[in-house]
Structure 1
């Protein structure tokens, strides 16, 4: 499929797909006219890339995770350590988000202990 079709099916821009190729996260073949061609499995790959970026992973880490996911670990990062570290970071993010949500719930319920008070200056 061409770049526009992959973009539409995966829900991303063609610019994002070109960036993924620049970052070595996605590959394509080229027609004789130079147009990019992708396989059907690239839709799932792009969706995974999007999820990993949304979770806060950096390009290099996304590349490592994709290599592990595709079974092409080239002896780089320790797979267990990499995945464990990212999972722990995501767990911390989830805990922080849950705390913020709970605080918002308190504020919306009118809890007087959640009112902002400027710091004392005495």
Structure 2
């Protein structure tokens, strides 16, 4: 299939597909006419990449998942390298949550200092919603 059909089947833009190819996550064969040609396996690869990008993984994070699929596994998460990426990403997310909670506490403290009683009113108003 050509790049336009792969884009249509996966919901990716042709520009994204070329970008994945540029980064070595997708490889197109060239037809006698010079057009890029893709297989049904490439639909799986692009779908995996897009699913990972949607939840915050980078293209480099996606590489072990793509390699796992290329190795013949049913899912991109079936390999130890992919599991390691999941674990690392969860640790990053946990750290982001900790930072946000600390930041929230700091802002709440500043609001309380600037306007005694306002923070308690904010919490009551949120509970009413």
By the TM > 0.5 criterion, same fold? yes
1:28/1:36 contact within 8 Å kept? yes
2:6/2:38 contact within 8 Å kept? yes
Greater helix content: 2
Unaligned runs of 5+ in 2: 73-78, 98-107, 116-129
**Which residue number corresponds to residue 16 of structure 1?**
16
RMSD of aligned Cα (Å): 2.9
Partner SS state of residue 111, structure 2: coil
The TM-score, its normalising length taken from structure 2, stands at 0.60
2:83 aligned with 1:83, yes or no? yes
**Which residue number corresponds to residue 62 of structure 2?**
62
Counterpart CA distance in 1 for 2:9 and 2:82 is 30
Aligned residues: 96
- For residues 1-122 of structure 1, the aligned pairs below 5 Å read 1-71=1-71, 80=80, 82-87=82-87, 89-90=89-90, 93=93, 118-121=111-114
The structure with the largest alpha-carbon Rg is 2
Runs ≥4 residues deviating over 4 A: 91-94
The TM-score, its normalising length taken from structure 1, stands at 0.63
Higher relative contact order (CA 8 A, sep 6+): 1
Unaligned runs of 5+ in 1: 73-78, 97-115
Counterpart CA distance in 2 for 1:55 and 1:90 is 11
Alpha-carbon deviations, 1:10-62, whole Å to 9, x = none?
11110010001001011111122211000112112111010111222222221
